[in-house]
Structure 1
Amino acid sequence: MSMNPEQEALITRVFGSYLMEYHHGDMIQLIADANGESHRPVVVNAMTLFEASMEVGDCFVAYPSDVLSIFDKVLHRRAMELSQNADGTDRTKERRLNVSPHARITGLPVCPELTRDTIPRSRDIGRFLSVTGTVIRTSVTKVLEYEREFICTKCHHVFTVQADFDQFCTFAQLACPKPDGCNSIRFNCLSGGSDPAACRDYQEIKLQEQVQRLSVGSIPRSVVVVLEDDLVDSCKSGDDVTVYGVIRQRWKPFSDGAHCDVELVLKANNIEVNNQQAAATVAMKNVQKDFEDFWNNYKHDPIAGRNQILLSLCPQVFGMYLIKLAVAMVLAGGVQRIDSSGTKIRGECHMLLVGDPGTGKSQFLKYAAKIMPRSVLTAGIGSTSAGLTVAAVRDGGDWHLEAGALVLSDGGLCCIDEFNSIKEHDRISIHEAMEQQSISVAKAGMVCKLNTRTTILAATNPKGQYDPEEPLSVNVALASPLLSRFDLVLILMDTKNPEWDRIISSFILEDRGQCSENSSLWTMEKMKAYFRVIKHLQPQVCDEANSILTRYYQLQRQSDGCNAARTTIRMLESLSRLAEAHARLMFRETVTVEDAVMAVCVMECSMQGGALLGNVHALLSSFPADPGQQYQTQCRILLEGLNLPMLLEKEIRRLARPRTHTPSCGALGSGRFEDHGKLFSDLFELSIPYSTLCDTIFHSRFAIV
């Protein structure tokens, strides 16, 4: 069923008027821009077009393929008219015939009939839809012959045959089309594919549903998308895209005794890459004012405001103040820089959690994957190098590149659980992805480079019982080159502390419901919005912060008990990234002394046998009752150890300014655990040896019920 002549005339007239009113300048630019491209797009907003004529909208929904063909013909004719008006010479006319403009539709109304977040089904055949998903596979670009001339061997009638898209673009002519009824079935080809005008660029990609939009337990489905002409090479594996096109079905030519397999394909009319998430930028402006008001309330005690955010990070895990601070800093990330030679220095931070079973490592990974956009959560068991990076897949005789976890999470977060379960030769493949933020592919004759600008948050169990006397590489069975690429490596040791076990038991069995109902905690949506907002901050490191980071790096290099795998030049870059990440977390545009001190504190906890603070027990660190006093203690210890008395004096004077009282966070923001938060906050103040603190805990007068 097709349109009648009256409908075709209406569409031609309305679309021609629409082009002259809304796209006159685009067509003038298209004609004037002589860059050698034979196919040029003109983006048409569907909402504006449908408002001009609802009848055109009805025909577009009912007969999308026919209407799109009319759009291209009208666009080409209007462009020719403008070209002749500008320069009416025959030479110009011939030159302009080689430029083929295409109407690319965008801005469809948001309704279930036209826009989808899931892969269409067979009931959608023939519809024009907007489908959003992630590109997981791209094929090589091919040349497709879509038109061929034949001559009948009986009557010598010459006719043109269009390639049948439904049969994989094959030429199927059953009989001679001459009007006198020759009906011969024997033809000879005249063009034979040698005419470039009858060929076009062709590429197939595979689009998969976005995992974060699926319901629990659903397996993401995929669909093949066909790109032609100027749409070819407009996206790559790992991109989030919105494809506008018509749902078609195609099958291989029939043969005796063979099954006829029919598959759905999306013949693309337009494709938009959504990596920059421009739509989210508009929404961020609405919530940014709320965050500015939040920090204004804590401007006299910003550390307390930061701790309030950390309380909302993975609230189902009790305490673990240090771990939550490190995870928040890693999610915030640093600023990417380009040095004088043009080499990019990554801004994304990587962290490895090493701990005994049951210490909450997987909880942090799952929560972080929910917060960050473009996040992928995978496990080391069964993950190969191809599953993490990129795989060359053969399909129908052709090779395709299929994106792995690191490519799919480009611009987001990749969480890898059971990291030590990845095979040794597979771990080597992610070295380039972690440091250079790219993957060089040379497989099946395809040589290219894919971006992996992602933050890696990994978790692993130690090899047997963790031995503090042994180097980290021995405990976790990971090579030094791989460990040096992690900005932070935090150790979570289960020391079987009776008092701490009582607190955890009380939290899990009695007060978990009260914690989830705590109104002071931020919701998941607010946490997502906050990390989206701070990702756009570009904090600059001040000279005072630079001096702290440089002095600490030099001290670590000179330390007798330093870990050679960790104290490399990458450590200095990690310190800079962590300081920028803390500034982002504090909603600042400048990296201050406070940010540098906190970056050094977190790095000290990551080092085995720190140069200043010694061994720190990260698992038992709880939220301090007085965050300002805790920071002052840390600042004094670190700056005295780094021999920076002038900076210490200046920072103490700043902290001594009068400030308004801000409510204490406590261990969980609830009165029941505030006393215990004060008791265990000493573990992170670091001025008392851990063994002494354990004795204090066991002989404490606090009655923990």
Structure 2
Amino acid sequence: MSDTQADVDASMLGAMQLFLETFYGKDIARLHAEGGETTSVHIDMHLLIDYNYELAMHVLERPSRYLPVFNEALVAAQRKSVQTGLAGALAVVNESAQVRMRQLPNHPALMRTKMPGSEDAGRLLSVSGTVIRTGVVKMMETHKTYACRSCRGTFTVRAEIEQYNYIPKPTRCLAGGEEFCKSTEFLAAPGSDQQQQQQHQQESCTDYQEIKIQEQVGKLALGTIPRSIVVILEGDLVDVAKSGDSATVTGTLLRRWRPVAAGERPDIALVLRASSIDVHSGEQGGLLVVTDDVRDAFRRYWQRHAAAPMRGRDLLVAAMCPQVYGLFYIKLAVLLVLISGVARADPSGLRVRGEAHLLLVGDPGTAKSQFLKYAAKLIPRSVLTTGIGSTSAGLTVTAVKDGPEWQLEAGALVLADRGLCCIDEFGSIRDAEKSTILEAMEQQSISVAKAGIVCKLNSRCSVLAAMNPKGKYDSESPLSINTALSTPLLSRFDLILILLDSRNDVWDDRVSSFLLAGGKDDALDRPSDEDDWSFETLQAYIAHVKSSLDPESTPASEQVLTRYYQIQRQRDPTNAARTTIRLLESLIRLSQAHARLMFRNKVRVEDAVMAVVLMESTMLSASILGKTDALHTTIPDDSQAFYAELETLVLGRLGLEHLLQPT
């Protein structure tokens, strides 16, 4: 190293140490506290840029060189704290402590949603994606100490991360420089004492794990195959992320290749050596941010429609899949499933899911696939697949052999955790593989026992499935016969809506006019431009109500749901699989979702009534409202009057006329 470079490094070391002492004194104190478990300090890159722009640019452009210098500065700051007595009498210096960079500026050159290329090698980047594979945790030797037999000097050789952590054998003595000793004989043992060897092993080894992250499918163009990249985790970063997690990894992009061997072609690949990893565990995978201005716009919208809230709701429903004419109940049901209810957990740890599931059973040409595609676009974290092309491993999790070891690779239900999984042609899934999704739909987890790996993965997602009936739909036969699905699988769907393409001259004329007009429906009278819901606004609204509203039931709504459940238990012998306690839980989830849709924290009678009305589309053989045609429905001209009729009819059939609201 030249004197000039040494002076630069010394200057950088001093600046880094002063930065750490100024802004991260408390973190340094936790590092060398007696019995402390902290082994790293997370640095906010925005703060470093504001403090010293030149220093930050050096770290961003040459992290492989200056991050180790930052680690030296952290150890030096600990030593100074111990020497001055600020850390206490029992404080010790954590020599293996590391600095971890996070919160890079939101610039396209630094924050990536697409996998970086070879031109970015050597730079510090943040890459967002979904964890699709996690490897086992190993022990990696970071360096090895050698003793020269000639001059008795010792020197350290570090592992080459670019060559799969290979520690090359030295070809000459590095203890005192080339002019001092040219010996080629060394001893690898750090000492003859067993205690010395154990201490050296603890200092020179660290935990090591490799994971693979993939580009988020929802942000790619149609037909694009998502790319993936291997991420190297070391130290306290191992076991932070699991398969299916959405994560942002900040690290150094490196080129990695196997050691050169005769007769073998060198295989060079890009890897990301992580400096920090942030797992987004919140709703929607942390992929959508709703600003305060957008929240205020939502509040103003419902204030304008306070006198006629059902009209405000119907304008919102009309924005759902606008290229399809009518199908009011279907659009409302899909919207409620995307919003879903509130998960509950008791002190024992038993969790009742809040995510709702919907199955669309209908004749060909009833826009089932259109709803699935539109819903997958609305939810940032979603997976769209088809039953004919899916296996049990593709839906849940598969074991992949990578070299001598087995690793778990996440399937569709795991990748859709905290999001939506859309399965088209649901009836085409093989019978032997339908049972694999039973646990995922109800317990919201997937138990794995493959290739010696036994674990559980989260699948907390809503399932939106579509299929054609088996032959011509027979209203007199139970759902299990018409759909050829098992009763345990049917009972896990909150709603099963039937779309029968019966002949209707008036309906055919309306649909024809709608299509010939270019898919524009001018029947809705919107009072102002602010009532016109765009795709982005609807997407933000769903994310906002899911994350901020937790509706609680009221005694009146509980009476409606309980009475309806009791009547269905008595009057529906042909659909016994649907009239279990899961029916009541489904009603609760749908009423909570409708309350969220109405921007409320309380579940009112109208929410319970709409949950009952939607449930009626499932049970054609024991309906309290008569035969319900879910296909031939349009948005009512007078939403308030239409709801008032439904409320009077439902509460009257349930014997709860005293709950009718005064007009």
Q: Same fold (TM over 0.5)?
A: yes
Contact residue 128 and residue 248 of structure 2 kept, 8 A: yes
2:539 to 519, 528, 533: 528
Indicate yes or no: 2:264 matched with 1:258: yes
- 5+ residue gaps, structure 2, are 192-196
Structure 1, 441-450 or 516-525: larger mean CA deviation:
516-525
Contact residue 355 and residue 462 of structure 1 kept, 8 A: yes
Please give the per-residue CA displacement for 1:304-323, whole angstroms capped at 9, x wherever unaligned: 11111111110000001111
Find the aligned partners of 1:494 and 1:513 in 2 and give their Cα distance: 22
Find the aligned partners of 1:513 and 1:632 in 2 and give their Cα distance: 28
Indicate yes or no: 2:30 matched with 1:19: no
Judging changes above 3 Å, is the alpha-carbon distance between structure 1 residues 185 and 248 closer, same or farther for their aligned structure 2 residues? farther
How big is the shift at 1:609? Answer: 1.9
Corresponding residue SS for 2:447: strand
Aligned partner of 1:184 in structure 2 is 184
Aligned partner of 2:50 in structure 1 is 51
Aligned partner of 1:567 in structure 2 is 579
1:231 to 230, 237, 258: 237
Aligned partner of 2:414 in structure 1 is 407
Please give the per-residue CA displacement for 1:340-373, whole angstroms capped at 9, x wherever unaligned: 5431111110000001111000011111111112
Judging changes above 3 Å, is the alpha-carbon distance between structure 1 residues 261 and 80 closer, same or farther for their aligned structure 2 residues? same
Contact residue 148 and residue 173 of structure 2 kept, 8 A: no
Q: How does 1:45-194 map to 2 (within 5 A)?
A: 45-86=44-85, 92=90, 96-98=92-94, 100-151=96-147, 158-177=154-173, 179=178, 180-184=180-184
Aligned partner of 2:31 in structure 1 is 30
Contact residue 582 and residue 595 of structure 1 kept, 8 A: yes
Judging changes above 3 Å, is the alpha-carbon distance between structure 1 residues 611 and 216 closer, same or farther for their aligned structure 2 residues? closer
1:625 to 637, 650, 660: 637
Equivalent residue letter for 1:79: Q
Aligned partner of 2:194 in structure 1 is none
How big is the shift at 1:377? Answer: 0.9
Please give the per-residue CA displacement for 1:604-631, whole angstroms capped at 9, x wherever unaligned: 1122323411321111011112222221
Aligned partner of 1:682 in structure 2 is none
Structure 1, 563-572 or 19-28: larger mean CA deviation:
19-28
Equivalent residue letter for 2:313: R
Judging changes above 3 Å, is the alpha-carbon distance between structure 1 residues 282 and 116 closer, same or farther for their aligned structure 2 residues? closer
Equivalent residue letter for 1:273: V
Equivalent residue letter for 2:102: T
Judging changes above 3 Å, is the alpha-carbon distance between structure 1 residues 364 and 88 closer, same or farther for their aligned structure 2 residues? closer
- Report runs of 4+ in structure 1 exceeding 4 Å deviation: 151-158, 178-181, 185-194, 277-282, 513-520
Find the aligned partners of 1:516 and 1:219 in 2 and give their Cα distance: 41
Find the aligned partners of 1:576 and 1:522 in 2 and give their Cα distance: 27
Normalising by the residue count of structure 2, what TM-score does the alignment of the two structures yield?
0.93
Corresponding residue SS for 2:97: strand
Corresponding residue SS for 1:429: helix
Corresponding residue SS for 2:32: helix
Please give the per-residue CA displacement for 1:235-284, whole angstroms capped at 9, x wherever unaligned: 11111111111111111111111111111110111111123279778634
Corresponding residue SS for 1:544: helix
Contact residue 245 and residue 269 of structure 1 kept, 8 A: yes
Contact residue 284 and residue 533 of structure 1 kept, 8 A: no
Contact residue 152 and residue 188 of structure 1 kept, 8 A: no
Q: How does 1:297-312 map to 2 (within 5 A)?
A: 297-312=304-319
How big is the shift at 1:200? Answer: 0.2
1:292 to 292, 299, 308: 299
Find the aligned partners of 2:366 and 2:34 in 1 and give their Cα distance: 62
Contact residue 555 and residue 611 of structure 1 kept, 8 A: no
Q: How does 1:427-466 map to 2 (within 5 A)?
A: 427-466=434-473
Aligned partner of 1:558 in structure 2 is 570
Corresponding residue SS for 1:248: strand
Aligned length in residues: 646
Contact residue 401 and residue 407 of structure 2 kept, 8 A: yes
Contact residue 285 and residue 381 of structure 2 kept, 8 A: no
Corresponding residue SS for 1:283: coil
Q: How does 1:244-393 map to 2 (within 5 A)?
A: 244-276=250-282, 283-339=290-346, 341-393=348-400
- 5+ residue gaps, structure 1, are 657-705
Contact residue 47 and residue 109 of structure 1 kept, 8 A: yes
How big is the shift at 1:445? Answer: 2.0
Contact residue 360 and residue 466 of structure 2 kept, 8 A: yes
Contact residue 298 and residue 304 of structure 1 kept, 8 A: yes
Aligned partner of 1:490 in structure 2 is 497
Corresponding residue SS for 1:223: strand
Judging changes above 3 Å, is the alpha-carbon distance between structure 1 residues 610 and 338 closer, same or farther for their aligned structure 2 residues? same
Corresponding residue SS for 2:68: helix
Judging changes above 3 Å, is the alpha-carbon distance between structure 1 residues 586 and 119 closer, same or farther for their aligned structure 2 residues? same
Find the aligned partners of 2:67 and 2:168 in 1 and give their Cα distance: 24
How big is the shift at 1:31? Answer: 3.1
How big is the shift at 1:516? Answer: 12
Contact residue 648 and residue 657 of structure 2 kept, 8 A: no
Equivalent residue letter for 1:46: M
Structure 1, 518-527 or 207-216: larger mean CA deviation:
518-527
How big is the shift at 1:150? Answer: 3.6
Contact residue 492 and residue 617 of structure 1 kept, 8 A: yes
Equivalent residue letter for 1:623: I
Contact residue 476 and residue 621 of structure 2 kept, 8 A: no
Contact residue 140 and residue 203 of structure 1 kept, 8 A: yes
How big is the shift at 1:560? Answer: 4.7
Find the aligned partners of 2:508 and 2:623 in 1 and give their Cα distance: 30
Aligned partner of 1:688 in structure 2 is none
How big is the shift at 1:215? Answer: 2.5
Corresponding residue SS for 1:4: helix
How big is the shift at 1:515? Answer: 5.8
Equivalent residue letter for 2:424: D
Equivalent residue letter for 2:577: A
How big is the shift at 1:113? Answer: 2.8
How big is the shift at 1:484? Answer: 0.0
Contact residue 246 and residue 285 of structure 2 kept, 8 A: no
Equivalent residue letter for 2:265: H
Corresponding residue SS for 1:602: helix
- What percent of counterpart residues are identical? 46
Equivalent residue letter for 1:637: L
Q: How does 1:497-516 map to 2 (within 5 A)?
A: 497-513=504-520
Judging changes above 3 Å, is the alpha-carbon distance between structure 1 residues 563 and 434 closer, same or farther for their aligned structure 2 residues? same
Find the aligned partners of 2:523 and 2:118 in 1 and give their Cα distance: 43
Please give the per-residue CA displacement for 1:523-563, whole angstroms capped at 9, x wherever unaligned: 10000011111112011000111011111101000005441
RMSD (CA atoms): 2.4
Find the aligned partners of 1:134 and 1:400 in 2 and give their Cα distance: 16
Corresponding residue SS for 1:376: strand
Contact residue 250 and residue 265 of structure 1 kept, 8 A: yes
Equivalent residue letter for 2:263: G
Judging changes above 3 Å, is the alpha-carbon distance between structure 1 residues 280 and 210 closer, same or farther for their aligned structure 2 residues? closer
Corresponding residue SS for 2:617: helix
Contact residue 105 and residue 244 of structure 1 kept, 8 A: yes
How big is the shift at 1:514? Answer: 6.3
